[in-house]
Structure 1
């Protein structure tokens, strides 16, 4: 590891210097495949290392095997970007026996090699893993198989206020962070109505008298706000509402990011129906199909192609007019697909994800000026076909 440090300081053979740090690399990956799109159970982003570490030499791989780790150490890599997170569950030690696909985790960290992962964020992103597979067919339209949903990312505030206090309250709530939709601010909705209340002997009502049932004209004012601004907006409401005890409701909202264009899996509507064997011929120019298997009939036409890289499961594969390309499924899954009349090609888990690395390399090279971005030569599928020589 000392040799690595010395070379970086004094060797004229080092690549052109860049100010890119691990934090810049993480930000670039987040632009390519926003981490918020990842499945809740996943582990993406910076997994090991410091944000301020340099990121001059970047190595990409699907899995962090011992072979990939050795290549990273040998080539003095600064950061490893992995498709599958090498640190997935909580680990209790950083030793060769750590719950990790490589025994060299201590060596990588000792050499200040940062580890980052993209996984299901890349699966869901526009231009990500499943779109790269669809590129082989030049579809006329693309849409997610399961649109992404952000649960409780925003809230809707509904507050009841007398007409004379609406403008002041709306402006105050907007200044506190409510009412922003995209590039528009102070967004709200009003509805006139009639409210009632009766204060007990401890109250000091702004309108009417304590102990008497009052009926007043009120405006129902609605505004949305991000979860991060919830506390500040509620405090602002209490400070600026004319009533002693404001009446308001908060409703958690589910957000649909990317205008409904992002999500797990992709469906590509073809410009015209195409035979399944012709579609696979087009795919074979980009993807290694030597170990692929198929369930169903390829010798018919399809109006769309569904791509679901990795271990997606088969519950969403229900359209018999869409050719499915996925990473893996089990024997009984294949029987279920046959019953549904769905034709599905099992590419292999690694094979279905590997093509996206070329796209990630191109994007990172463009985004991180001066950084050297490579795909690991040692990266390879853990499963391979039996050599034909053993049968001779």
Structure 2
């Protein structure tokens, strides 16, 4: 049986807390890292009803999308709503973990899960996340010492490209230099021009590892004064992670696409609201799990035919449509984000096998409960 720390490490590897927005509050909220985890439940909201469901089922860990403590509190007494939830979980031996904006942007995250649930293909982020900054490190080394220097660069963290490591480029040529008085050359003599068969080695390295990589290069290089370049690389903007998703669907009308949305999402009192011409052709679709009106300006001039999100406001929606933007499909916040739960559940089951039992809560925690 894995420990809580083991399960948290898996979830954080898929949805790194460092990618969450600065205002967010994600990660482990309650629980001892060494505790055994045999049952994990997934839900959107950490309400008291969800907490009781988790405890009654015997969950050792409750994973939620929305943080319990997004804003500071001065008390967690059981007389407060948040305190009641926390006490119910801790008294029942159930830990709590929140994955919020870090799960929104990730591969197999909230927006991607929503897009796949609606049948979108050829997915790309609406707003790609910036890739971690990279350097290219170039050095010139005697050919006989090239393997040693390459190994040192790799050990320091260079040469990783996607799912590949030990990646480098080498081309050979002639290096020329004349040691001057005071030099202690590894090759050649003071005052005499030297010509050496050299290898030009190029590697990519995380900018955060720049100092370590350069130190490793200097330590492994046989020359007293090695020649090297450190070149900052531009972000190509091809990150698979980021805010929202854009994709394609089989050609349909706005009315037909809205019906597909309604059928794909769990039922809520909110339902599906649509703004636009029923007969408008729909092929390109953008989605954003949760409240996505902050993306309206970016989508206004795009080739998107419809935008699916939640919590759209009256004036913003009206002005957006007046300026010829995509049709709007407004769905319940809870329903849109619930589509992520089966996805993360499947990832955890695949990673842990039969060591962990999982469950997705189907309890609707959308605050709107009925229409008269």
The interval holding the TM-score normalised by the smaller chain is 0.7 to 0.9
| Residues 202 and 40 of structure 1: CA distance in aligned 2, closer, same or farther (over 3 Å) | farther
1:22 aligns with 2:1: no
Considering only aligned residues, what root-mean-square deviation do their CA atoms show, in Å? Answer: 3.8
8 A Cα contact 1:160 1:247, kept in partner: yes
1:117 aligns with 2:98: yes
8 A Cα contact 2:139 2:229, kept in partner: yes
1:329 aligns with 2:312: yes
Shift of 1:115: 1.2
How many residues get paired?
Answer: 362
Q: What is the aligned partner in structure 1 of residue 360 from structure 2?
A: 375
| Residues 254 and 81 of structure 1: CA distance in aligned 2, closer, same or farther (over 3 Å) | farther
Is the deviation greater in 310-319 or in 299-308?
A: 310-319
| Residues 90 and 254 of structure 1: CA distance in aligned 2, closer, same or farther (over 3 Å) | farther
Q: What is the aligned partner in structure 2 of residue 82 from structure 1?
A: 64
TM-score, structure 2 normalization: 0.79
SS in 2 for 1:381: coil
SS in 2 for 1:309: strand
| Residues 244 and 85 of structure 1: CA distance in aligned 2, closer, same or farther (over 3 Å) | same
Shift of 1:104: 3.3
1:284 aligns with 2:262: yes
Shift of 1:234: 2.9
1:243 corresponds, among 213, 223, 227, to: 223
| Residues 332 and 224 of structure 1: CA distance in aligned 2, closer, same or farther (over 3 Å) | same
TM-score, structure 1 normalization: 0.75
Shift of 1:114: 1.3
CA–CA separation in structure 1 for the residues paired with 2:206 and 2:99: 25
Shift of 1:298: 3.4
Q: What is the aligned partner in structure 2 of residue 342 from structure 1?
A: 326
1:359 aligns with 2:359: no
2:249 corresponds, among 270, 273, 279, to: 270
Deviations 1:111-137 (A, max 9, x none): 432111222333233443333333455
CA–CA separation in structure 2 for the residues paired with 1:266 and 1:91: 34
8 A Cα contact 2:46 2:68, kept in partner: yes
SS in 2 for 1:233: helix
Deviations 1:90-127 (A, max 9, x none): 666654588x8454324533543211122233323344
| Residues 169 and 25 of structure 1: CA distance in aligned 2, closer, same or farther (over 3 Å) | closer
2:204 corresponds, among 224, 228, 234, to: 224
Q: What is the aligned partner in structure 2 of residue 128 from structure 1?
A: 109
